[in-house]
């Protein structure tokens, strides 16, 4: 099972959990007794919503504005769900008992019953909230979303993080040659190719800055199984696997240079009208300088000696080059860096 499939399955499970929670809250407010089997049924509705979203809708709504994406998904999920409910009633028998009533009804009578439309309304509300919550979590990133919910970033917080910044080689010339629209499609295509590697190595995408993308990890996760080192090489390998498609569509294959550093950063929520979580501190300044040195040296990947010291087994899978010194603007200290290359896997 690849990383994208695991990601999709986890996302489907999120839909189920959110739908079950929302249904439980609505049941409490309605004053009805909480039946675990009924709540489990709403969880199945969330599961069904997630399956439709991830394996049927896919990218079909991506070309629409965000409100229309949301509205289209809610309408389709609700229609398909109601259709399934009606089909189940039709297949069950000519007469059925609806909800808590003991009186049997004929199937065609369902469309004139208040209970049916109350059920439809609840389906729409639960699916709408489930889709909205999971989509917002996806846009913000799981850790950032949870941080906002828990108020983690209301005050600046020191934390140990790994930061990888990647920059597209020759971006200015590519943009001039392609034109704005084609260059945007080129970047978006390239970023989509990174998805599998990002998920596999448990990275968070901190931000896109034009043709530069910044990834971060909590220190423990970034160092685990050399996730922070593998990400760059997994991305370049993924691009190489699709180089024929890129050449055919854009006439060029993207190449990246990257710098990797880690240490203490300040994480804080910034802004009022538009809020975001930003990272600041010496690590961010240093990794930017390291990327500049990588460009000057014309090497693909530089990693700080400080971070390498936290990975004693790095030599088993990576070849580490000689040390270089990077002066950090505004600081008296220097950052020591090494070029690194991943060793070829022997068959």
Residues contacting 24, CB < 8 A, separation 6+: 34, 39, 42
Q: What is the CATH number of domain 143-342?
A: 3.30.70.1230
Comparison of pLDDT for 120 and 231, the residue scoring more = 231
Helix, strand, coil share (%) of the chain residues, nearest 5: 60, 20, 20
Does 232 have pLDDT greater than 90?
Answer: yes
In this prediction, residue 13 carries a pLDDT of 86
Of the candidates 117, 120, 93, the one whose C-alpha atom is nearest the C-alpha of residue 105 is 93
Hey, is 35 helix, strand or coil? Answer: coil
Res. 311 pLDDT band, cuts 50 70 90? very high
The whole-number pLDDT of residue 240 equals 93
User: Distances in Å between the alpha carbon of 92 and those of 85, 89, 106, 235, 248?
Assistant: 11, 5, 11, 52, 54
Of residues 332 and 10, the one with the higher pLDDT is 10
* Averaged pLDDT for residues 12-26: 85
Mean of pLDDT values over 98-108:
52
For 176-242, what is the HEC assignment?
HHHCHHHHHHHHHHHHHHCHHHHHHCCCEEEEEECCEEEEEEEHHHHHHHHHHHHHHHHHHHHHHHC
Q: Where in the chain is the domain with CATH 3.30.70.1230?
A: 143-342
Q: DSSP readout, 276-320?
A: EEEEESHHHHHHHHHHHHHHHHT-SEEEEHHHHTT-TTGGGTEEE
pLDDT for the residue 338: 92
Neighbour-count burial for 302-331, b at 16+ CB within 10 Å, e otherwise: bbbeebbebbeebeeebeeeeebebeeeee
Q: Span 47-72, mean pLDDT?
A: 72
In this prediction, residue 45 carries a pLDDT of 81
CA distances 47 to 120, 144, 174, Å, are 17, 24, 43
Q: HSE-up of 227 (CA within 13 Å, CB side)?
A: 22
Give the pLDDT of residue 89.
61
Dist CA 20 CA 40 (whole Å)? 7
């Amino acid at each position: 099972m690849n990383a994208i499939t695991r990601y999709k399955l986890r996302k489907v499970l999120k839909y189920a959990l959110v739908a079950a929670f929302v249904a439980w809250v609505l049941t409490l407010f309605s004053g009805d007794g909480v039946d675990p089997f009924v709540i489990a049924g709403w969880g199945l509705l969330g599961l069904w919503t997630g399956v439709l979203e991830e394996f049927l809708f896919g990218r079909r709504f991506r070309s629409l504005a965000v409100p229309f994406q949301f509205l289209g998904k809610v309408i389709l999920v609700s229609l398909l769900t109601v259709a399934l409910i009606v089909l189940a009633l039709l297949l069950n028998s000519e007469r059925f008992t609806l909800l808590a009533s003991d009186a049997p009804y004929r199937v065609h009578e369902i469309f004139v019953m208040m209970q049916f439309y109350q059920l439809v309304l609840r389906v729409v509300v639960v699916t709408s909230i489930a889709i909205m919550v999971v989509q917002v979590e996806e846009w913000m990133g799981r850790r950032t979303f949870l941080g906002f919910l828990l108020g983690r970033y209301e005050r600046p917080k020191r934390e140990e993080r790994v930061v990888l910044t990647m920059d597209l080689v020759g971006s200015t010339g590519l943009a001039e040659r392609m034109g704005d629209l084609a260059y945007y499609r080129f970047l978006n295509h390239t970023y989509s190719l990174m998805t599998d590697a990002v998920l596999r190595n448990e990275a968070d995408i901190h931000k896109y800055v034009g043709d530069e993308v910044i990834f971060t990890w909590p220190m423990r996760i970034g160092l685990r199984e050399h996730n922070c080192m593998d990400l760059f090489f997994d991305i370049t390998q993924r691009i190489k696997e699709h180089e024929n498609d890129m050449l055919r569509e854009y006439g060029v294959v993207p190449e990246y240079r990257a710098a990797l550093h880690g240490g203490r950063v300040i994480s804080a929520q910034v802004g009022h009208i538009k809020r975001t979580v930003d990272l600041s501190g010496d690590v961010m300044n240093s990794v930017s300088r390291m990327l500049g040195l990588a460009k000057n040296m014309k090497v693909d990947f530089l990693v700080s000696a400080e971070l390498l010291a936290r990975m004693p087994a790095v030599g088993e899978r990576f070849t580490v080059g000689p040390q270089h010194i990077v002066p950090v603007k505004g600081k008296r200290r220097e950052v020591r860096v090494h070029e690194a290359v991943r060793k070829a896997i022997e068959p």
